[in-house]
């Protein structure tokens, strides 16, 4: 088992991944500045993790842009850090358009200062959180990793730039890098103890639906029903956050077992796009709660459809998403119902 650094480990995907890695027996240092996450998420992870896990998790409050914080994190483990999972970053498309410098600073600058710290501490292995939005506004599906990546907003631009920076370290310094392009992660751990905790009114479809189901919001606003899709509403490739968390553990194993330089760039999705109305119906079936909605005009910046080819991930990692849309709805609702105010 390895000692690993997990940046952004208290966030939505990070917390679920920390749990999976503790279950696999690894020793972890989590570095998080809690800018968009809560330390309570990690307390909850410890409730769910094996009994000996408290000896295998250290939490450092700090920022990936700060060399001192990074050095503290690298020195916190009992053994030298063998690999990093780098979640820490900003992830809201609209915010990235309004505050581009923040995105270049945190997402690219943060990855650069992390890479420098890795160099100082003799670690050249990283699993990087990337995004399906690097494909811009694609028209051909399913999306393959070698298809063009013309990102259309600073969020995607900074993620793609960080992918490219890490790829350069594979070439120049024999690093081992996995860039994982997430499609739309949703749902929660089936216990309902950890899940997604957005600030304020959610931007994303799933948390919006669960808050309508809880009575916190009156009705869903469906952004556009005139897209060139099956029923006219936007289609996305939703995957269960536990499938995504498990993919990180498999990607880490793949890199740890690999001798010499390695670079893999993989889509993580199910390969099945679902429309907004299909998600609403699946949620209603899974929970028995009806979701009132109204159709509004398209949301600026939305693309009609995103759908992964999951074949590279299956070939390279032997990983496929296995949980159904119904499970995503059931588990997301269990989390929302038990935690109406998130971690507060």
131 touching ligand WQD, by CB under 6 A: yes
Instruction: Report, in Å, the least distance between residue 19 CB and ligand WQD.
Output: 21
- Contact yes or no for 309/143 (Cβ under 8 A): yes
Helix axes 154-173, 110-120, angle to 10 degrees: 20
Distance of CA 197 to the CA centre of its chain: 13
Nearer to ligand WQD, 177 or 276 (CB): 276
Nearer to ligand WQD, 112 or 153 (CB): 153
Q: Which residues of 142-161 are buried (b: 16+ CB within 10 A; e: fewer)?
A: bbebebebebbbbbbbbbbb
Alpha helices in the chain (DSSP H): 12-23, 39-48, 67-76, 93-98, 100-103, 110-120, 154-173, 205-213, 241-257, 276-287, 311-317, 325-338
Q: Which of 103, 155, 208, 238 is catalytic?
A: 155
Nearer to ligand WQD, 3 or 131 (CB): 131
Instruction: Report, in Å, the least distance between residue 131 CB and ligand WQD.
Output: 3
Instruction: Report, in Å, the least distance between residue 213 CB and ligand WQD.
Output: 13
- Contact yes or no for 23/48 (Cβ under 8 A): no
Interface residue with ligand WQD among 144, 219, 299, 326 (CB under 6 A) is 299
- Contact yes or no for 300/231 (Cβ under 8 A): no
How many residues bind ligand WQD (CB under 6 A)? The answer is: 18
- Contact yes or no for 81/121 (Cβ under 8 A): yes
With CB atoms as reference, the residue minimizing the distance to ligand WQD is 234
Scan residues 182-241 and list those touching ligand WQD (CB under 6 A): 182, 184, 203-205, 208, 221-223, 234, 236
User: Does residue 155 carry a catalytic annotation?
Assistant: yes
Q: Which residues are the active-site residues?
A: 155
User: Could you list the residues that contact ligand WQD (CB under 6 A)?
Assistant: 91, 93, 131, 133, 182, 184, 203-205, 208, 221-223, 234, 236, 276, 299, 302
């Amino acid at each position: 088992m390895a000692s690993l650094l997990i940046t952004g480990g208290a966030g939505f995907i990070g917390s679920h991944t920390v749990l999976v890695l503790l279950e696999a027996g690894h020793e972890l240092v989590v570095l998080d500045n809690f800018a968009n996450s809560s330390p309570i998420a990690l307390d909850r992870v410890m409730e769910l993790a094996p009994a000996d896990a408290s000896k295998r998790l250290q939490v450092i409050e700090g920022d990936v842009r700060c060399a001192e914080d990074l050095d503290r994190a690298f020195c916190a483990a009992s053994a030298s850090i063998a690999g990093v999972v780098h979640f820490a970053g900003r992830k809201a498309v609209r915010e990235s358009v309004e505050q581009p410098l923040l995105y270049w600073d945190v997402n690219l600058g943060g990855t650069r200062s992390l890479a420098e710290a890795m160099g100082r501490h003799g670690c050249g292995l990283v699993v990087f959180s990337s995004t399906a939005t690097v494909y811009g506004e694609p028209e051909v599906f399913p999306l393959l990793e070698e298809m063009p990546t013309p990102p259309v907003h600073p969020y995607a631009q900074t993620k793609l730039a960080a992918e490219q920076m890490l790829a350069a370290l594979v070439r120049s310094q024999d690093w081992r890098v996995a860039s994982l392009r997430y499609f739309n992660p949703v749902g929660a751990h089936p216990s309902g103890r950890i899940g997604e905790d957005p600030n304020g009114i959610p931007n994303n479809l799933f948390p919006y639906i669960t808050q309508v189901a809880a009575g916190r919001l009156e009705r869903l606003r469906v952004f556009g029903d005139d897209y060139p899709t099956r029923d006219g509403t936007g289609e996305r490739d939703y995957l269960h956050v536990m499938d995504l968390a498990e993919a990180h553990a498999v990607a880490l194993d793949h890199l740890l077992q690999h001798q010499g330089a390695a670079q893999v760039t993989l889509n993580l999705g199910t390969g099945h796009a679902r429309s907004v109305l299909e998600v609403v119906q699946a949620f209603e079936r899974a929970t028995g709660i009806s979701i009132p909605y109204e159709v509004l005009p398209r949301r600026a910046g939305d693309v009609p459809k995103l759908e992964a080819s999951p074949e590279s991930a299956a070939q390279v990692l032997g990983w496929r998403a296995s949980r159904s849309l119904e499970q995503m709805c059931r588990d997301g609702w269990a989390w929302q119902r038990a935690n109406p105010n998130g971690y507060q």
